[in-house]
Structure 1
């Protein structure tokens, strides 16, 4: 079972549990804009070798699997609304990409929303085939070595959302989601669908160059069609890389919100000019905007709320609120949100099993010490850092299939049963926004 508490130590990790991957290399220096463009073939080869090593000790599956690998299932949403989903390709011509030599900043987002009808609109896959191919090469090697590099058909997992279904023409609160450092937006699917099924419009955001892989609608000079991350370990080991990553995420989030305003005004912000679902702009109530994020996304969303008053409430799921120290024995600089506090509701949501809890405590305690009382804290027992993602449901399936060890599952999401963890995470996030961004 899960429990909630005030004031217990929690943790984020901005990939704090990925220290084991650090020896494989570091991210490109932000100022150099030298990233993954010339390295994909090298990484692919190393991924194949690493995958062979990772699977050397894996035993039988204990269950039948298709020839092309295990197909995992996502938890069904519980709300009364059928769900539509569409993607947005957004281009900010006022910014250069911080990681590679690209003269603009590109962002990909998925919009989940209550649908008027889903007839004739097929369900969407969690990942495109191209994204899934690179995901298994990157995420299972550099970020989560406990995941199987073979034996899973990552492209076969289906969502419960229907592609480009017409939206209900009813103004609804809008929630922005920023994933953890290195994670794709697709790993936040089950929470986004749950919120949409209960009457929210949810916009999940990829941060290219940071995200493990991003599948764009077309190629561009300076990157492949599917762009891979520049990270090869924990960004918090390099203060400048971490500062660049969070600053870029904050700017990305504010830019997405700008584009949603254009959409609500009747414009099509998609840079490829793709037709958008009927009535999507009419479904956005931008007077009621919230944000939630995991790990680096939690850091970015809390700081975005501090900087941008359009965001009325936010949830930080184990995101540090300070910069890494510049030298051993020093303390890192607090982000303004922790230094000065916030005047709107902010929930700090953590787990008792995250290894970075002690390092996180200083910045969270600084924020909670502000006297205005707008920040609250909750904690999940028997859970670990990535329980806030789709891994909460996936890791137990992998373990049951013999593709993941119990220790690796516990390190990723904790020993908590998904029948408890999935409802718990959904409950904390939805009830928070129901309280502060009421749907009626």
Structure 2
């Protein structure tokens, strides 16, 4: 969502102190080289003093900018940030077919007394061991991946939540693929309709998995008594965020939805997601004449219309929408920062992106699944832009031709 011009502007805004400091050093060098030409009556100390004061004023932000620049190359963190008290046990759970519902394999993380290797088997295997000592409750959170994604794409986020006492169940995106076509207004409308149909298949899998996990928990009282299955969280990335939002309108058990940079389809596109609803959005550029006149103009228009629609629903229903400055779409995945895409890192280092994601998600679920309202995690991060701070961008989108 960040084009070349927007990317350059953001780099200048983030690292302005580095070139400013370099220019100051060049100015000092020029003064030193030319001071022999000054008149004997002129005090060389005066311009040097003024430059020294300016140098001091820029040095601190320059050092911070250098730190950000260096941090951009550190790669993704090796361990989850904001780790809780409990080790996380992880299981691949096989769910049998039932009628038209095909068999599924989901990945389940839960708090444990000790961590272990990935275990595979039926659902009962995941809850054979008793809950860890000191665990008060164990809220359940579903995870839906992005388009074509799988249950492992946000492993560190799931493990982080499990360490804080959550049971996390992640699915694969196994619905049949469709062909995107944004070549015309009619083709765009048909693509949107077919994406909505595809969403229903992903939603079917998610709710089936929830039903099977609920049945499984019912056979293990030690875990069942710690999990309120009438108050379930649901988070999803990209297309998975749309699945999570739609689930809040289809199943009363879904009590809190976190959408990681996903749009809305089907019923949720018309009504908005059930509260409480959190949106973490990637950075985006307001519409430009160049984009709206390009061959991809229908695709861009869908993007802008989707941003406005989701913002309107979120504001109307009282949810929270936060834009993460410098974040590309994949900043909400474990894979962000892996490989040679250093251009993205310069705007938002992987470790920082993950810390923000984990802090805001944990705060959201602690508030709405456990009733702890003592923390406002987003306020700790300068990269987090609130809804009111986004208003000027949204206004530009609304007024675009």
Tell me: CA distance 1:364–1:337, structure 2 relative to 1, closer, same or farther (3 Å). Answer: farther
**Structure 2 residue corresponding to 1:200, chosen from 133, 158, 166:** 166
TM-score, length basis structure 1: 0.54
Tell me: CA distance 1:79–1:354, structure 2 relative to 1, closer, same or farther (3 Å). Answer: farther
**Structure 1 residue corresponding to 2:210, chosen from 257, 261, 265:** 257
Structure 1 residue 242 and structure 2 residue 242: aligned?
no
Higher strand share: 1
Match of 1:299 in 2: 242
The within-5 A match list for 1:96-111 is 104-111=101-108
1:262 deviation in Å?
A: 0.4
Match of 2:17 in 1: none
1:384–1:414 CA contact under 8 A, matched in 2:
no
The within-5 A match list for 1:59-138 is 73-75=78-80, 78-95=83-100, 104-115=101-112, 117-118=113-114, 122-124=116-118
Q: Aligned equivalents of 1:367 and 1:358: distance in 2? A: 14
Structure 1 residue 381 and structure 2 residue 375: aligned?
no
Tell me: CA distance 1:358–1:238, structure 2 relative to 1, closer, same or farther (3 Å). Answer: closer
Which structure 2 residue ranges, 5 or more long, are not aligned?
1-75, 121-125, 183-187, 287-298, 373-401
* Structure with max Cα Rg: 2
**Structure 2 residue corresponding to 1:314, chosen from 257, 269, 294:** 257
1:110–1:205 CA contact under 8 A, matched in 2:
yes
Deviations for 1:251-308, whole angstroms, at most 9, x for unmatched residues?
11111111122012117xxxxxxxxxx9555553213211000011001100111111
Moved more, 247-256 or 370-379: 370-379
**Structure 2 residue corresponding to 1:345, chosen from 276, 300, 304:** 276
Deviations for 1:217-266, whole angstroms, at most 9, x for unmatched residues?
xxxxxxxxxxxxx5787998844652332111111111111112201211
Report the RMSD for the aligned CA atoms in angstroms.
3.5
Give the structure, 1 or 2, with the largest relative contact order (CA under 8 Å, sep 6 or more).
1
Q: Aligned equivalents of 1:359 and 1:232: distance in 2? A: 16
Q: Aligned equivalents of 2:153 and 2:181: distance in 1? A: 19
Q: Aligned equivalents of 1:257 and 1:114: distance in 2? A: 18
Aligned partner of residue 96 in structure 2, secondary structure: strand
1:77–1:197 CA contact under 8 A, matched in 2:
no
Which structure 1 residue ranges, 5 or more long, are not aligned?
1-70, 96-103, 129-161, 211-229, 268-277, 323-334, 399-403
Match of 1:60 in 2: none
Match of 1:363 in 2: 306
Structure 1 residue 430 and structure 2 residue 362: aligned?
yes
Tell me: CA distance 1:341–1:244, structure 2 relative to 1, closer, same or farther (3 Å). Answer: closer
Aligned partner of residue 158 in structure 2, secondary structure: helix
Q: Aligned equivalents of 1:429 and 1:234: distance in 2? A: 33
1:359 deviation in Å?
A: 3.2
Q: Aligned equivalents of 2:233 and 2:227: distance in 1? A: 12
Tell me: CA distance 1:336–1:345, structure 2 relative to 1, closer, same or farther (3 Å). Answer: same
Match of 2:140 in 1: 174
1:383–1:414 CA contact under 8 A, matched in 2:
no
Q: Aligned equivalents of 1:361 and 1:283: distance in 2? A: 42
1:167 deviation in Å?
A: 3.5
TM-score, length basis structure 2: 0.59
Q: Aligned equivalents of 1:185 and 1:336: distance in 2? A: 25
Tell me: CA distance 1:338–1:435, structure 2 relative to 1, closer, same or farther (3 Å). Answer: same
Match of 1:183 in 2: 149
Tell me: CA distance 1:383–1:357, structure 2 relative to 1, closer, same or farther (3 Å). Answer: farther
1:106 deviation in Å?
A: 2.2
Q: Aligned equivalents of 1:426 and 1:378: distance in 2? A: 14
Tell me: CA distance 1:231–1:298, structure 2 relative to 1, closer, same or farther (3 Å). Answer: same
Q: Aligned equivalents of 1:439 and 1:114: distance in 2? A: 20
Q: Aligned equivalents of 2:359 and 2:228: distance in 1? A: 23
2:146–2:173 CA contact under 8 A, matched in 1:
no
